[in-house]
Amino acid sequence: MPNDKRPIYFTTPIYYVNDKPHIGHAYTTIVADYLARANRVLGRPAFFLTGTDEHGARIAEVAREHGRTPQEWCDEHSEHFKAAWKALSIEYDDFIRTTDKRHEAGVQIMLDRMHKAKTADGQPVLYEAEYTGLYCMGCEKYITERELVEGRCPLHPNRELRQLTEKNYFFRLSSYLKEVEAMIQDGRITIRPDERRKEVLGLLKYGLEDFSASREKVDWGVPLPFDPSQNAYVWVDALPNYITAIGFGADEAKFTQWWTEAESTHLLGKDILKFHAIFWPAMLLSIGEAVPEHLFIHGYFTVNGQKMSKSLGNVIDPHALVKAFGPDGTRHLLLTQFQFGQDGDVKAEEFLRQFNADLANDVGNLVSRAVKLIDRHFDGQRPEVGAREAIDDELREAALTAVDQFDDGVGRLIPNDAILAALNLSRAANRYMEQTAPWNLAKSGDTDRLGTVLATVVEAIRVSAVLLSPGIPNKARQILKALGFTKPEDELSPDAIRGWDRCPGPFTLPESIFPRLDKAAIDLSGKKEEPKQVAENVISIDQFFETQLRTAKVLEAEAVKGAKKLLKLQIEVGTENRQIVAGIAEHYKPEDLIGRTIVVVANLQPAKIRGVESNGMLLAASNGKTLRLVTADGEIPSGSKVG
């Protein structure tokens, strides 16, 4: 077992409450749950944290679009995540929400300490400055020129970037970059896989600018304790969740146990690597707190070779998987699809085959055969163990080998390898059954040998069940109960997995552990079945809000040469001036349009009409030969949202 017996602390990212959970969220959370449970089996105290990220301009905007207050929206969507984790038998030690009062208080304590802190050369850690740049609402961050891909945010290419100018407080990141780099280089901060470590070192080598620690034009957030006119920037608010949940600023003993003296491990996706590997350690260094020891970055999910997308209809709902395979089956299938840390392709058609092979055959059938033989030939009581043969000792050695391999896989944070070790023990026990043929021993009346064989195989089943328990917690307990353990939780321990001759009996199996599935009718999206008769051209409310309708003021208008139906309009949309082409020349004179407030589709892809560029489309109502523009009923600033 690992020499390091310090408490170990596992965290997932806190999930943004702009949507319901899918298997990408579930995967990271199941891995964290698995690793926490597995470490406890190995005798190591573990704490597992997950939660939801609930502040920021985007949340406030989405809430308004759906007619909710930001708090109402967050309350509802945070419950979606809790419900999904309950369905998947995920047992977190704490669930943090960034709208929790304890979190907001902790963030303000951290900000106050930053505000009072000085860098090594005596400069204030936080300082006021004005910044102008392109802001991505999807990322909730400014996008630098070198990050742009064809003028767009690489993660949200369909979103319009906003040109913002703000006077904010900035975090002096530049003063901590060398120290963060040194900690990564010498292993005080480990980043895995190694390609992600190299990626971070490349960012550090290139250089990073100081970042904004506050926003002056965002209302939905945590106010700065020293300047309530500004709210904490979303990442400065979100990242401290890892310490506010374990007592930072409120419970010093708990904070010391699970942060200062523990082995901290953040599990996260590669899209948020920079914030966790550079920003977060720098923030902690600025206030003299310990940095996270380990960052393990998993890859991206695809489904049958395609990126998960609502438009493709391949977003897999965890509830749909649970309905088909049960919570333990779903956990096992997601944990074993591919190596943690790599990009992976989920092939739904493989789920049924793997469920039957790993769980129904290798685990469930083995338990059923052994328990039924003991029930039939020993009245369900623990058989007496006679003289052992070499093959019996080999199975016990296989169990000890499995424990060592499980320990190694857990220590390397690779659930796949740890689970394989447990499955290989089940497979060894199945081979042992075939080689010793206890059914033939029963027929021949060799009760002594039959008892030894069955007592040996149930011990292998017991160890395998304990090793499998982090992944299939409910079924593992069911197996242990079938072996006579009235308190199966007590068997999830280091002594148990290295011990032998522990099964007490009586042996009974009221129902199959993993019934074989012949068919798994699974709706991957988890959507309810639509009625057969549906209206044509019907869209959802979410599809409607994908269209950005804005008010616009007409500044200039003129006819398009050679096109009697077209007018070219110069319009003002908020702070932006645009040109659009509209087929309204037969209904409106150019001079009649100047000064009017019209409604336009602001996020329409630019196009050329009769060789003239048009960046948007105005709205008009028509009936036969009559056409009327959609205009604002009264004064309202250009750029105002419609809908």
Give me the DSSP letters along 41-110. Answer: HTT--EEEEEEEE--SHHHHHHHHHTT--HHHHHHHHHHHHHHHHHHTT---SEEEETTSHHHHHHHHHH
Best CA proximity match to 496, nearest among 531, 465, 541: 465
* Domain span at 406: 327-498
Among residues 124, 120, 237, 235, which one has the least CA distance to residue 179? 120
The CATH code of the domain that includes 197 is 3.40.50.620
Hey, what are 402's tokens? 């499995």
Predicted pLDDT of residue 635: 86
> What is the rounded average pLDDT for all residues in the chain?
90
**pLDDT tens per residue across span 137-168:** 676 667 777 678 778 887 778 778 888 777 89
**Would strands 46-53 and 8-11 be described as parallel, antiparallel, or unpaired?**
parallel
CA 178 to CA 253: how far, in whole Å? 31
Phi, psi of 95 (to 5 degrees): -125, 110
DSSP H helices, 437-483, are 438-444, 447-468, 473-482
Give the CA dihedral 234, 239, 242, 244, nearest 10 degrees. -50
What's the CA gap between 509 and 191, in Å, rounded?
A: 45
Instruction: Tell me: do 293 and 343 sit in the same domain.
Output: no
Q: How many helices (H) and strands (E) does the chain have?
A: 22, 27
Query: pLDDT digit string (tens) for 161-174?
Result: 888 777 899 999 99
Residue 458 CB neighbours (<10 A): 28
pLDDT of residue 529: 46
Q: What mean pLDDT do residues 471-485 have? A: 98
Whole-angstrom distance, CA of residue 622 vs CA of residue 618: 13
User: For residue 365, what are the β-bridge partners?
Assistant: none
Residue 325 to residues 205, 346, 348, 366, 524: CA-CA distances in angstroms? Answer: 47, 15, 12, 19, 12
Is 287 inside a domain boundary?
yes
Residue 517 lies in a domain: no
Active-site residue identified among 55, 77, 103, 136? 136
Residues 222, 88 within the same domain:
yes
Distance CA 639, CA 588 (A): 23
Distance CA 36, CA 41 (A): 9
More confident residue, 3 or 402: 402
Asked if 283 and 332 sit in the same domain, the reply is no
pLDDT in the model for residue 2: 42
Q: Does residue 312 sit within a domain?
A: no
Pairwise pLDDT comparison (602 vs 432), residue with the higher score: 432
- Measured CA to CA, the distance from residue 474 to residue 492 in angstroms comes to 13
Mean pLDDT of 387-397: 97
Q: 291 and 334, same structural domain?
A: no
- Bridge pairing between strands 214-215 and 227-232: antiparallel
Statement to judge: residues 132 and 220 lie in one domain: yes
Q: Tell me whether residue 608 is in a domain.
A: yes
Host H or E run for residue 544: helix 541-545
Give 591 or 536, the one with higher predicted confidence. 591
CATH code assigned at 366? 1.10.730.10
Contact call for residues 315 and 308 (beta carbons, < 8 A): yes
pLDDT tens digit sequence for 250-282: 999 999 999 999 999 999 999 999 999 999 999
Question: Which listed residue (74, 141, 153, 319) is catalytic?
Answer: 153
Q: What percent of the chain stands above pLDDT 90? A: 70
Q: Is 294 a catalytic residue?
A: no
Distance CA 582, CA 562 (A): 14
Residue 321 falls within a domain, yes or no?
A: no
Concerning whether 103 is annotated as a catalytic residue, the answer is no
CA distance 337 to 341: 12
Q: Which of 167, 198, 310, 527 is catalytic?
A: 310
- Which among 182, 181, 148 has a CA at the least distance from the CA of 163? 148
> Residue written as tokens 């959370």?
29
Roughly what angle, to the nearest 10 degrees, separates helices 415-436 and 390-411?
170
Give the range among 26-30, 45-49, 455-459, 623-627 with minimum mean pLDDT: 623-627
In the predicted structure, residue 533 carries a pLDDT above the cut 50: no
pLDDT in tens, 22-69: 888 999 999 999 999 999 999 999 999 999 999 998 899 999 999 999
Q: Are 616 and 573 in contact (CB under 8 A)?
A: yes
The question of whether 136 is a catalytic residue gets the answer: yes
Catalytic option among 55, 139, 266, 332:
139
Active site residue 77: no
Domain boundary among 498, 526, 555: 498
Q: How confident is the model at residue 564 (pLDDT cuts 50, 70, 90)?
A: confident
Burial degree of 390 (CB within 10 A; 0-12, 13-18, 19+): exposed
pLDDT band at 312 (very low <50, low <70, confident <90, very high): low
Quick one: 470 and 351 in the same domain? yes
Same domain, 163 and 225: yes
For position 314, what pLDDT does the model report? 62
Query: 5, 307, 561, 641: which is the annotated catalytic residue?
Result: 307
Both 343 and 255 in a single domain?
no
Q: What is the structure's pLDDT at 438?
A: 97
Show Cβ contacts of residue 194 under 8 Å, excluding neighbours closer than 6 positions. none
Structure tokens at 346: 């989920």
Give 397-444 as a DSSP string.
HHHHHHHHHHHHHHHTT-HHHHHHHHHHHHHHHHHHHHHH-HHHHHHH
Model pTM above 0.95: no
Active site (annotated) includes residue 528:
no
Q: How far is the C-alpha of 92 from the C-alpha of 76, rounded, in Å? A: 19
Q: pLDDT at position 543, please? A: 60
Answer whether residue 536 is part of any domain. no
Laid out side by side, the sheet with 344-346 consists of 306-307, 301-303, 344-346
Please compute the mean of the pLDDT values over residues 469-495 and round it to a whole number: 97
Number of domains in the chain: 3
Give pLDDT, residue 539.
Answer: 63
Q: In terms of domains, do 614 and 468 share one?
A: no
Confidence (pLDDT) at 545: 59
Q: Identify the active-site residue in 20, 80, 82, 156.
A: 156
Of 463, 498, 533, the position where a domain reaches its end is 498
- 60 located within any domain: yes
Task: Please tell me the predicted confidence (pLDDT) of residue 207.
Answer: 85
Verify that 209 and 91 share a domain, yes or no: yes
156 noted as active-site residue: yes
The whole-number pLDDT of residue 530 equals 46
Per DSSP bridges, beta strands 263-269 and 8-11 are: parallel
Site of tokens 């321990």 = 493
Same domain, 107 and 237: yes
Where does residue 345 rank: exposed (0-12), middle (13-18), buried (19+ CB within 10 A)?
middle
* CATH number where 605 lies: 2.40.50.140
pLDDT of the residue at 306? 67
**Pairing mode of beta strands 597-601, 617-618:** antiparallel
Please identify which of the residues 25, 55, 266, 319 carries the catalytic annotation.
25
Q: Is the pLDDT of residue 181 over 80?
A: yes
| In a domain? residue 33 | yes
| 31 shares its domain with 88 | yes
Residue after which a domain boundary falls, among 281, 298, 315: 298
The answer to whether 276 is a known catalytic residue is no
Q: d(Cα 59, Cα 70) in Å, to the nearest integer?
A: 7
